[in-house]
A and B are shown apart, each in its own frame.
Chain A
């Protein structure tokens, strides 16, 4: 069934580049990521040779742009009627779901690669810890994957891409902000420590911060892989439900 997975992946990847979507997305990402690092993160004022200003604002950029990339995945198929064509092909549902996800994740990875001028700049200006920078990129890629998978699951709930985008952004926002100190402080003041810890554990931001600090922990990797698998499974269940005709 690998040929089916490859066919879906190839079609989806081409679909991003056959329309302006991928080019607009990549241009916006390649402009916005350095802009946030320079202006909000005060890239030069820190006097440090690292990419912390880039990685600090990455979650907020990704929580807007990843749902934008994911919104079309199933909603467009439903809207155009091509879902019926896809469902009549001898493709296992896991292959359709995974193929769509991997194609979107590839575009996200390309977007991260396009921030390489900043990496070159810090290496030109100083002696950064490149292993820590790579760890930060790895964390950003996992975070992007988690947001994409969540966005694709929500795209399977509707035939309207705008609705899919709003749902995706809202879900990613919730998943991110549960890790903000202000939220954890409020929860900590009003709920038992166990609940506070549980909510902190759900936060994509908390798990991402470890990578941002140059640390790869198995629990953080497992969180994002688990988020991706659970979200893709949800998308698969939602599409399979359509085959059951809403039963």
Chain B
């Protein structure tokens, strides 16, 4: 469903991503973990067709994200980092814009829009300008735009960042509900989300994959059997790791 094959990306002198490879199948929810600047967002942008890799291949549903970008993006829902949205638009207008750009019209457009708003629990704020909404509502508006066309692949960059505990639970429940029919990548710094919603985890640092396995196998990497300690063990330099311990 989704393939990252030896992806490489540099910005000026910095090598942001250095040979990242993995595949993702329908029904998998991948937790994409790593410290800030590890290359998570750059990798996701390459998979979403927003950035072209310097080397390697990204593909979605068999379509190359560079050479067949439009076909790949038609099958993708993407929540960019920070959940950007047009502040003067309402969430309903924002979701409909994405749907219209994907060729939805009339009844199908309205149905898809209303279902997405209902799924992210945004009905009460659906007709207010996004610029006047709280951070949680803004994020849910962007999430609604990402899922409205029922894509086969979802890439969600920090979907629960800035949400209160109830809202986080709602988004996690939504991801679990969608999981059987889709391939989903979520990047997060909230490590408790990994065992809660992910069937698989990848840890990346300095642009390289350090771990690829189940959340349970990741926990085994830590001193106390937690994802947090495993994350520290994998991503901290040895001397820093000692002092952190």
Residues on A close to B: CB < 8 A?
3-4, 6-8, 10-11, 14-15, 18-19, 80-82, 84-85, 87-92, 243-247
Instruction: Find the A residue at minimum CB distance from B72.
Output: A90
Residues on B close to A: CB < 8 A?
9-12, 45, 48-52, 54, 69-71, 73-74, 76, 78, 80-82, 84-89, 93, 97-98, 100-103, 105, 129, 142, 145
A88 and B76 in contact, given A3-B100, A243-B51, A246-B11 (Cβ under 8 angstroms): yes
Instruction: Find the B residue at minimum CB distance from A244.
Output: B52
CB distance from B166 to the nearest CB of A (A): 26
Instruction: Find the A residue at minimum CB distance from B66.
Output: A243
What residues of A have a CB within 8 angstroms of the CB of B98 in the complex?
89
Instruction: Report the separation of the CA atoms of residues A84 and B73 in the bound assembly, to the nearest whole angstrom.
Output: 13
B101 close to A91 (CB less than 8 A) = yes
A7 close to B100 (CB less than 8 A) = yes
Instruction: Report the separation of the CA atoms of residues A7 and B103 in the bound assembly, to the nearest whole angstrom.
Output: 9
A81 close to B80 (CB less than 8 A) = yes
CB distance from B89 to the nearest CB of A (A): 7
What residues of B have a CB within 8 angstroms of the CB of A14 in the complex?
89, 93
Select B85's contact among A18, A19, A82, A245, beta carbons within 8 Å.
A82
A8 close to B101 (CB less than 8 A) = yes
CB distance from B31 to the nearest CB of A (A): 21
Select B49's contact among A7, A11, A87, beta carbons within 8 Å.
A87
A10 close to B100 (CB less than 8 A) = yes
Instruction: Report the separation of the CA atoms of residues A87 and B101 in the bound assembly, to the nearest whole angstrom.
Output: 12
A-B contact pairs, 7 of them (CB 8 A): A81-B84, A84-B45, A85-B80, A89-B98, A89-B101, A90-B69, A91-B70
A246 close to B12 (CB less than 8 A) = yes
A90 close to B11 (CB less than 8 A) = no
B80 close to A90 (CB less than 8 A) = no
Select B50's contact among A4, A11, A88, A246, beta carbons within 8 Å.
A88
CB distance from A1 to the nearest CB of B (A): 8
B88 close to A84 (CB less than 8 A) = no
A245 close to B101 (CB less than 8 A) = no
Instruction: Report the separation of the CA atoms of residues A90 and B86 in the bound assembly, to the nearest whole angstrom.
Output: 18
CB distance from B138 to the nearest CB of A (A): 12
What residues of A have a CB within 8 angstroms of the CB of B69 in the complex?
90
A6 close to B89 (CB less than 8 A) = no
B54 close to A247 (CB less than 8 A) = yes
A88 close to B78 (CB less than 8 A) = yes
CB distance from B67 to the nearest CB of A (A): 13
What residues of B have a CB within 8 angstroms of the CB of A8 in the complex?
101
B103 close to A87 (CB less than 8 A) = no
Instruction: Find the A residue at minimum CB distance from B47.
Output: A88
B73 close to A90 (CB less than 8 A) = yes
Instruction: Report the separation of the CA atoms of residues A29 and B89 in the bound assembly, to the nearest whole angstrom.
Output: 26
A92 close to B70 (CB less than 8 A) = yes
What residues of B have a CB within 8 angstroms of the CB of A247 in the complex?
52, 54
B88 close to A15 (CB less than 8 A) = yes
What residues of A have a CB within 8 angstroms of the CB of B84 in the complex?
80-82, 84-85
A7 close to B97 (CB less than 8 A) = yes
Instruction: Find the B residue at minimum CB distance from A5.
Output: B101
B9 close to A245 (CB less than 8 A) = yes
What residues of B have a CB within 8 angstroms of the CB of A82 in the complex?
84-86
A84 close to B50 (CB less than 8 A) = yes
CB distance from B204 to the nearest CB of A (A): 18
What residues of A have a CB within 8 angstroms of the CB of B9 in the complex?
245
A90 close to B100 (CB less than 8 A) = no
B101 close to A3 (CB less than 8 A) = yes
A84 close to B80 (CB less than 8 A) = yes
Instruction: Find the B residue at minimum CB distance from A18.
Output: B88
CB distance from B76 to the nearest CB of A (A): 7
Further 14 A-B residue pairs, CB within 8 A, beyond A8-B101, A14-B89, A246-B11: A3-B103, A15-B88, A18-B129, A84-B84, A85-B80, A88-B80, A89-B73, A90-B69, A91-B101, A243-B49, A243-B51, A243-B52, A245-B9, A245-B11
Instruction: Find the B residue at minimum CB distance from A16.
Output: B88
A87 close to B82 (CB less than 8 A) = no
What residues of A have a CB within 8 angstroms of the CB of B100 in the complex?
3, 6-7, 10
Instruction: Report the separation of the CA atoms of residues A226 and B85 in the bound assembly, to the nearest whole angstrom.
Output: 34
Which of A10, A89, A243, A244: most chain B Cβ within 10 A?
A89
